[in-house]
Structure 1
Amino acid sequence: MKHISTVVLALCASQAMAQQVVKIGHVGPLSGAIAHLGKDNENGARLAVEELNAKGIKIGGQLVKFELVPEDDAGDPKQGTATAQKLADSKVNGVVGHLNSGTSIPASKIYSDAGIPQISPSATNPKFTRNGYKTAFRMVADDVHLGGTLGRYAVNTVKGKSIAVIDDRTAYGQGVADEFEKAVKAAGGKVVGREFTNDKASDFMAILTTLKAKKPDVVFFGGMDAVAGPMMRQMKSLGINAKFMGGDGICTGELAKLAGDAMADGQVVCAEAGGVEGQQKKGMEEFSARFKKRFNADVQVYSPYTYDAVNVMVDAMVRAKSSDPAKYLPELAKTNYKGVTGTIAFDAKGDIKNGALTLYTFNAGKRSAIAVVR
């Protein structure tokens, strides 16, 4: 009898060991105006976790089960820090997020204090990786690259003669607009006006009327698609026939719906941090097909980067033979991983090396790539 109970206990112990759970937090706005972008990111992370579990990954010779812990920060810095503290207190093994720079930056201190690795798939404000936190990494090029490339493009390719700039006063919106303005001036372009709004606004008639008097041929907006769409509608109603430019925040599949008939073919030029070319396109197309099959939704913007971020984190755990943040963090810093978004490696600050940008426009309401720039 004693012998049987020993065997049963041993079996139970082995099953418990086989079910070691590794928790990966994901944070993005699941409520509010850009909830569609937050859900897109979460779905990318979820697909990665499901595929990893189907493969039966072992860490240090032990089979593990990955669990996604999704949280909503509503794109709000205060809620972002509260959410970060919640994940730190629950001792997750790592965090993929946040989506916005304004939430990622304050949250990064909390994760650093807790020693938890954080990979943002989409925060582009340079400050995110400039605080010296060894736990912070990003999957995409920053606003210096993004805004700078768009600024030069506005002058050299679009041939903008009088350029107006608007931002939404968030860490992301103001940051990318500042870099755009600097690059326009450095390329010899003329900025005829700089206005600002906020990320919850829906009435832009006052600032657009001010800018209309300056006859801009390019309007750049630093902000998100939920604000950009109504802004384009009001530009049309005022008869402002300018090119509309912006960063990754407006460069989404939803923009055409939000702008409606106010968007003319070729009117919008936007850039998304990241981009694939040549042979990499096949991997991205296969990912998009799996994503559509699983969630019955098209990729918005950054779900491929959250998908890769989860895989990069797990790859570091496998190489470290441990899911303990302190043990796999050094391996994460040494990452050299071939993902659906390209080859991923980080510099000493935690920024992606050789980050690409893709320039897009819209025709017949569909987004189409103009070029990949590095």
Structure 2
Amino acid sequence: MLLIAATVAGMGTMATAQEQIIKIGHSGPVSGPQAHYGKDIKNGAQMAIDDLNAKGFEIGGKKVKFELIAEDDAADPKQGTAASQKLCDENVAGAVAFVNSGVAIPAAKVFHDCGIPVINGAATNPDLTKPGWDTTYRIIANDNALGAALANYTANTAKLTQVAVIDDRTAYGQGLASVYKKEAEKLGIKVVASEFTNDKATDFMAILTSIKAKKPQAIFYGGMYGQAGPMLRQMAQLGMNDVKFYGGDGICIDALTEVAAGAKTQENVVCADGGASIAKMPGGTEWKKRYDAKYPGQFQVYSPYFYDGVMLLADAMQRAGSADPKVYIPFLQKSNFSGVTSRLEFEKNGEMKNPSYTLSHFVNGKKTPLD
């Protein structure tokens, strides 16, 4: 999560008499099985900060300097809320934050209580914006859009009639699986099995054996790539090579190839990301070239959203003429910002207006958009 910690007048130090320091904090899973995501979003944040500093950004007619303060939440809600409180205590002025819904939802409450806005570019559980706080914003499609898109694909493109559903019991995985199951049943698909595991598991043989006996044409998994990879390997071991495998943005990552260890079943994966593919983003292609030059081989999914999140906060501050959240939040609510990912505008509850999504599959081990 990126946090913009701005030192407003009387609250912090100045780099020079004219230059105000605006600290941008970051919290993401840079350790543990989701570290690919954490490193990617941190890179996106740092890239935005470097770009802002390079062009001599001004707020209220005065030059400011941005600085990244990084935290590791390890995809753990307790660690994430502790990191958020720490950043609040340091008088941060805003946040662009979190990969995981299970971390983002309780952390949003922390920032709301501190009066600090949080922009999220990865967590997709609809509950994140349910309170309607003026401090919580999302710039990516939520699970209602992703689950419905995958259910529609299952019924109308793949034309399957029987599926099994597994979730990892996290806020993200369970929420996404619930949306998919509900939408699939509406479309006439029979859910022959509903199972659950956890986000630390690696052995799925018992669940898969039970599911195999019920002859599904596809398995939908609500969870992350760290579990989807072993699941795909074990499906291959059980001879489930004709069973399709669907999931959300948690599995929609090139690193799935690595953790699946080249299992043939990976060829059956279709996954959904919130947002357009890089090639269809307004500034995606050129931005990706710069990212790859700066961070070779590290791109995953969310870095352009975290880049845009920092830029969006900076834009609101500039329009308000202040880095004080009390002053710039009303300007953030009325954003109409042309970002790398899309044009960013918000509904009253902090959800993005007109979010898009992308369905992908894997070709020669690389995530590739279907359209």
User: Do the structures match in fold with TM over 0.5?
Assistant: yes
Matched, 1:78 2:71: no
Partner secondary structure for residue 48 of structure 2: helix
Correspondence for 1:252: 253
Post-superposition Cα deviations, 1:159-200, rounded to whole Å, max 9, x if no partner, equal: 112100000000000000000000100111110001111111
Post-superposition Cα deviations, 1:195-234, rounded to whole Å, max 9, x if no partner, equal: 1111110000010010000011111100111110010000
Correspondence for 1:306: 306
- State the one-letter code of the partner of 2:111: Y
Change beyond 3 A, Cα 1:281–1:355:
closer
Structure 2 counterparts to residues 102-181 of structure 1, below 5 A: 102-181=102-181
Partner secondary structure for residue 172 of structure 2: helix
Instruction: Measure, in 1, the Cα distance between the counterparts of 2:352 and 2:266.
Output: 33
Instruction: Measure, in 2, the Cα distance between the counterparts of 1:151 and 1:182.
Output: 9
Q: 1:260 deviation in Å?
A: 2.4
Q: 1:139 deviation in Å?
A: 1.0
- Asked if 2 retains the 8 angstrom alpha-carbon contact of 1:256 and 1:263, the reply is no
Post-superposition Cα deviations, 1:96-128, rounded to whole Å, max 9, x if no partner, equal: 111110000000111001111100111100010
TM-score, normalised relative to structure 2 = 0.94
Instruction: Measure, in 2, the Cα distance between the counterparts of 1:214 and 1:184.
Output: 17
- Asked if 1 retains the 8 angstrom alpha-carbon contact of 2:146 and 2:274, the reply is yes
Change beyond 3 A, Cα 1:103–1:117:
same
Matched, 1:317 2:317: yes
Correspondence for 1:7: none
Partner secondary structure for residue 219 of structure 1: strand
Post-superposition Cα deviations, 1:279-325, rounded to whole Å, max 9, x if no partner, equal: x5462111111111111224201000000000001000000000111
- Asked if 1 retains the 8 angstrom alpha-carbon contact of 2:161 and 2:188, the reply is no
- Asked if 2 retains the 8 angstrom alpha-carbon contact of 1:272 and 1:357, the reply is yes
Instruction: Measure, in 2, the Cα distance between the counterparts of 1:15 and 1:91.
Output: 17
Instruction: Measure, in 2, the Cα distance between the counterparts of 1:298 and 1:79.
Output: 24
Change beyond 3 A, Cα 1:223–1:265:
closer
Instruction: Measure, in 2, the Cα distance between the counterparts of 1:227 and 1:287.
Output: 31
Correspondence for 2:18: 18
Partner secondary structure for residue 17 of structure 1: coil
Structure 1: 4+ residue segments shifted above 6 A? none
Correspondence for 1:28: 28
Q: 1:132 deviation in Å?
A: 2.4
- State the one-letter code of the partner of 2:303: S
Structure 2 counterparts to residues 1-374 of structure 1, below 5 A: 16-240=16-240, 241-264=242-265, 266-276=267-277, 280-281=280-281, 283-371=283-371
Instruction: Measure, in 1, the Cα distance between the counterparts of 2:320 and 2:283.
Output: 27
- Asked if 2 retains the 8 angstrom alpha-carbon contact of 1:155 and 1:184, the reply is yes
- State the one-letter code of the partner of 1:177: A
Instruction: Measure, in 2, the Cα distance between the counterparts of 1:14 and 1:246.
Output: 47
- Asked if 2 retains the 8 angstrom alpha-carbon contact of 1:264 and 1:363, the reply is no
Instruction: Measure, in 1, the Cα distance between the counterparts of 2:356 and 2:264.
Output: 26
RMSD over aligned CA atoms reads 1.5
Correspondence for 2:5: none
TM-score, normalised relative to structure 1 = 0.93
Instruction: Measure, in 1, the Cα distance between the counterparts of 2:133 and 2:265.
Output: 44
Q: 1:155 deviation in Å?
A: 1.3
Partner secondary structure for residue 206 of structure 1: helix
Instruction: Measure, in 1, the Cα distance between the counterparts of 2:266 and 2:212.
Output: 21
Instruction: Measure, in 1, the Cα distance between the counterparts of 2:289 and 2:21.
Output: 29
Instruction: Measure, in 1, the Cα distance between the counterparts of 2:300 and 2:77.
Output: 23
Partner secondary structure for residue 360 of structure 1: strand
Gaps of 5+ in 1: 1-12
Q: 1:52 deviation in Å?
A: 0.4
Q: 1:17 deviation in Å?
A: 2.9
Partner secondary structure for residue 27 of structure 1: strand
- Asked if 1 retains the 8 angstrom alpha-carbon contact of 2:282 and 2:339, the reply is no
